[in-house]
Amino acid sequence: MKISKKILFSIAICGSLLASCDKKQEKSSELFNQALLQDSLDLYKKLYTEAAYFSIDNNENARKEFMPTTVEDVMAQVIQDFTALNRQEGGNPLLPQDLGGISKVNRLSVINHKWLIVDFYSDSFVGEVLIRYHYNPEGVTEFQVIDTVLY
């Protein structure tokens, strides 16, 4: 069977056009995926900003309260002083105590220059406690429970 030059030429052109369309579709798909990724990143940045709104990290007014000491140094001391309470016999006195068990800190977040919120658990319950703190550059941080929620 003999194939004419016209048919071979037509097949070659069609193949070339298909390859070109494939490359355009691939590039278009890549651009779409990049746009989708950027939208996702923008969404997560917005969600993070919203979640971190009540945080010492984003609260310039609260950060200024500790000047000239850096917030990082203050927070290290506050966390260290709070952690020392966790090591007391019978557990941290700022947390509700379970009969026969000890409440343990699950997560702690610094809200501003005066408040901490602590998520805790024990064998019988879980909860959160809002704590006022007073940083003392010359001594130990003072803590006072404002309110507790048990679940």
pLDDT tens readout for residues 51-102: 777 778 877 888 888 888 888 889 999 999 999 998 888 888 999 887 667 8
Residue 144's alpha-carbon distances to 94, 133, 135, 141, in angstroms, are 8, 6, 12, 10
Q: In whole numbers, what is the pLDDT of the chain averaged over residues?
A: 82
Confidence of residue 32 (pLDDT cuts 50, 70, 90): confident
Within 10 A of 62 (CB to CB), how many other CB atoms are there?
A: 19
Confidence of residue 103 (pLDDT cuts 50, 70, 90): confident
For the chain, the structural domain boundaries read 1-51, 56-150
User: Rounded distance, CA 90 to CA 97, Å?
Assistant: 8
Could you tell me how many residues make up the chain?
Answer: 151
Residue 79: CB partners within 8 Å, gap ≥ 6? Answer: 108
